Amino acid sequence: MRSSEYENIIKVENVYKTYKNGTAKAVAGVSFSVTPGVCFGLLGPNGAGKSTMMKMIYGVSYRDGTPDSGISVFGHDPGRNALPIRFLSGIVPQENNLDEELNVEQNLKVFCRFYNITGSQAQDRISELLSFMELSEKQSFGIKQLSGGMKRRLIIARALLNNPRLLVLDEPTTGLDPQVRHLIWDKLRRLKRQGMTILLTTHYMDEAFQICDSVFIMNKGKSVAEGNPQQLVNKHIESYVLEVYSKESFSVISKNVTEKCCRVDDDGADVTRIYSDDYERLREFSKQLTGGDFYLRQSNLEDLFLKITGSRLNAQQ
Amino acid sequence: MRSNSQQLYPPFLVRILSVWYRHYKVYTKSLISNGLPPFLEPLIFLVGIGLGMSRYIHEMAGISYLSFMATGLPMTSAMYTAAFECSYSTFIRLEFDKVYDGMLSSPLSVSDVLLGEVLWAGTKGLFFSFAVVLVMACFGFIPLPAGLLAPFVGFLTGVMFATLSLAITSFVSNINHFNFYFTGILSPMFFFSGVIFPIENLPAVLRYAAEAFPLTHAVRITRDLTFWDLKPTLLYSLLYIVLFTLFTGWIAWKRLGKRMIY
């Protein structure tokens, strides 16, 4: 039991989740494992079941009691024994839940108590983390005075109070400006270098590319792809994509874009995406288009994501 | 396995007290506006009833009318503070401010959160009833030192109304529904629990209802302790309070647990 605990920090096996008033399963037979020191990303559109999966991992949501299913985090089942898991992990929930009746420092002080960190030890830890998250000057601010980015950074600081071995972040940078997102990625990379295991959810592909060693793409409660982000892109997606922003422009080149040379995705409303490994060919097409109405670029995880989850909205989004 | 897991997260008492500490921090943040009214209210009462009503009613159940009420009021004060804390405030922490969600992302369980809540409401019951006793004793309406036992009954009253209010909260989906609780349950309790007048001479139906009200038993214990008139019925009243607390606490734990983790 001890050895398996160290092979995988998290092991999820064949997990299902049905909400009482829900008709569809939020999570439908998901399995994955997270090894120590890795940054593991759960990707998927809104409603894919990412948050539900996260909540089951730190024990604030119960999985269905289907046979052969199980979750183990640090060797503990979060459905039965969540406290040791939450003692060893820092949790950053999707929804900000800072205590608005307390200021920045008091928020952290109260949370220190939850971990049984008191006195000067708590004080040291608080100033250390406020400076790490670049919030030192905000120490006595009320929560309502903080911007969205500051709140998010404070919640991350709060999650780090007990020197966690695992950091769980549910959409850490949703709705934040580019500067804050880069700051948060920078901090997460630094924590990872210190040996921390990180599990995060996101629907931003650049985020996954920036910090994840391994991604797990979910759609409608199921796993659809898993692996290293770069390798996934190389394996499933052509190297280049020409995006054409109107149907009129596309009609200029449509007769030349044959199925043999390229893959065409015109699922979206106006944008047509032409995928190919042949950069020169795509450049030839682009020359026939008026400037500004197209964009020729390398393909990325977003293209993979759109390919496998479909570019149209589904009912859960 | 058990001894191993005990070292992996803070022990039970530390966890409960950490929840208590959060509420204490929030309460003492506005010390004047939170700490003064419990002392002002009995003063206002004394002026109103003392100067007004006691000219017409001199005696109640063998003691002066002001002493009769002075020994009941610490408990209504404890009742109201605990009821507010564990209805409106709890609902806001649960649904709007997401304070419990924050707690549940740390090594605290649903039971820890709820027990911390109940312990805090008991503490407020103790403090609020102490404030009333202090003011009343200053004017000689509550005898000392026996009157100083009343805040301990105030603690029990706070705990009891905390569990009752949490149980009520577990059924509430819209914060305005608490109006029914305060008007429909707590107000009748204020009038028919032997605080304003003795329940012994009420018509039979009302008498039974009054005996079922938990506040009746808290007031009875307080009055008997304060005037050091110890009777075996005290034990019966104490037992009633304990059972009532356990029963409502169990409902609250069952139902609120499902609202926090599902």
pLDDT at A4 over 50: no
Contacts across the A-B interface (CB distance below 8 Å): 90
Which residues from A are below 8 Å from B15, CB to CB? 114
Name which residue leads in pLDDT, B3 or B178: B178
Name the superfamily (CATH) of residues A2-226: P-loop containing nucleotide triphosphate hydrolases (3.40.50.300)
Q: Which residues of B touch A172 (CB under 8 A)?
A: none
For chain B, list the strands marked E by DSSP: 59-60, 63-64
User: Which amino acid, A264?
Assistant: V
* The predicted structure's pLDDT at residue A72: 96
- Asked if residue A312 has pLDDT above 60, the reply is no
Q: Is residue B3 part of a domain?
A: no
**B18 contacts in chain A (CB < 8 Å):** 110, 113-114, 116
- In terms of Cα–Cα distance, which of B84, B62, B68, B226 is closest to B153? B226
Give A107 or A238, the one with higher predicted confidence. Answer: A107
Concatenated DSSP letters of A196-253: -EEEEEES-HHHHHHH-SEEEEEETTEEEEEE-HHHHHHHHS-SEEEEE--HHHHHHH
User: What is the spatial distance between Cα B210 and Cα B188, in angstroms, rounded to a whole number?
Assistant: 9
- How many angstroms separate the Cα of A117 from the Cα of each of A109, A114, A161? 9, 8, 9
Selected for mutation to probe chain A from B20, B33, B105 (highest A CB count within 10 Å) is B105
pLDDT digits over A185-215, tens only? Answer: 999 999 999 999 999 998 888 888 889 999 9
The predicted structure's pLDDT at residue B2: 41
Q: Tell me whether residue B204 is in a domain.
A: yes
CB under 8 A, 24+ apart: contacts of A100-103: A100/A142, A100/A143, A100/A144, A100/B97, A101/B26, A101/B29, A101/B97, A102/A143, A102/B22, A102/B25, A102/B26, A102/B29, A103/A139, A103/A140, A103/A141, A103/A142, A103/A143
Å from B23 to nearest chain A CA? Answer: 10
A206 vs B202, higher pLDDT: B202
Please write the tens of the pLDDT for every residue from A246-274: 887 887 787 777 766 788 877 666 888 88
**CATH 3.30.70 residue ranges for chain A:** 238-298
Confidence of residue B6 (pLDDT cuts 50, 70, 90): very low
Starting from the edge strand earliest in sequence, which strands make up the sheet with A240-244, in order?
A: A263-265, A272-276, A240-244, A294-298
Residues of B in contact with A83 (CB under 8 A): 5, 8-9, 107-109
Q: CB-based burial of residue B145 (10 Å sphere; 0-12 exposed, 13-18 middle, 19+ buried)?
A: exposed
User: B124 vs A67, which has greater pLDDT?
Assistant: B124
Report yes or no on B185 lying in a domain: yes
Mean pLDDT of chain A: 89
Environment class of B153 (CB within 10 Å of its CB; exposed 0-12, middle 13-18, buried 19+)? buried
pLDDT digits (tens, 9 = 90+) for B110-119: 999 999 999 9
- Which pLDDT score is estimated for A264? 83
Q: Which residues of A touch B120 (CB under 8 A)?
A: none
Would you state the pLDDT for residue B249?
98
Total structural domains within chain B: 1
Tell me the per-residue pLDDT of B129-157, one tens digit each, with 9 for 90 and over.
999 999 999 999 999 999 999 999 999 99
**Which range is least confidently modeled, A132-146, A192-206, A275-289, B220-234?**
A275-289
Query: What would the 3-class secondary structure string for B5-74 be?
Result: HHCCCCCHHHHHHHHHHHHHHHHHHCHHHHHCHHHHHHHHHHHHHHHHHHHCCCEECCEEHHHHHHCCHH
pLDDT at position A285: 86
pLDDT band at A184 (very low <50, low <70, confident <90, very high): very high
- At residue B5, does pLDDT exceed 50? no
- Residue A118 contacts B where some CB pair is shorter than 8 Å: no
**Burial of B93: CB neighbours in 10 Å, binned 0-12, 13-18, 19+:** buried
Q: What is the pLDDT of residue A311?
A: 57
* Among A49-63, A279-293, B94-108, the least confident range: A279-293
Q: Helix or strand or coil: residue A41?
A: strand
- A165 inside 8 A of chain B by CB: no
Per-residue pLDDT band for A91 (boundaries 50, 70, 90) equals: very high
pLDDT at position B1 over 50: no
Query: Is residue B158 a part of any domain in this protein?
Result: yes
Q: Is the pLDDT of residue A287 over 80?
A: yes
Give the minimum alpha-carbon distance from B22 to chain A in angstroms, rounded to a whole number: 6
CB-based contacts of A294: which residues, under 8 Å, 6+ apart?
Answer: A242, A243, A244, A245, A249, A286
The pLDDT value recorded for residue A260 is 64
Using pLDDT thresholds of 50, 70 and 90, give the confidence band for residue A307: confident
**Site of tokens 């494992």:** A33
pLDDT higher than threshold 90 for residue B57: no
pLDDT at A314: 57
Find residue A227's DSSP bridge partners. Answer: A215
Lowest-confidence pick of A232-241, B87-96, B223-232: A232-241
List of residues 6+ apart from B137 with CB closer than 8 A: B143, B144, B147
- The reply to whether B39 falls in a domain is yes
- Which site among A100, A101, A161, A199 would you substitute to test the B interface, given the most B Cβ atoms closer than 10 Å to its Cβ? A101
- Span A80-89, average pLDDT: 96
B188 vs A22, more confident: B188
CA atoms of B179 and B85, how far apart (whole Å): 14
Q: Which helix (H) or strand (E) holds B126?
A: helix B110-138
CATH 3.40.50.300 residue spans of chain A? 2-226
Q: What is the mean pLDDT of chain B?
A: 93
pLDDT attached to residue A1: 42
CATH numeric code, A238-298: 3.30.70
Contact B97 A59 (CB under 8 A): no
In the prediction, which pLDDT does B8 show? 84
Distance CA B101, CA B260 (A): 8
pLDDT at B72 over 80: yes
Q: Angle, to 10 degrees, between the axis of helix B214-226 and the axis of helix B73-84? A: 140
Range of the domain at B86: 10-45+57-260
- Whether B50 is covered by a domain: the verdict is no
Residue B1 counted as domain residue: no
Of A156-160, A223-227, B16-20, B184-188, the range with the lowest mean pLDDT is A223-227
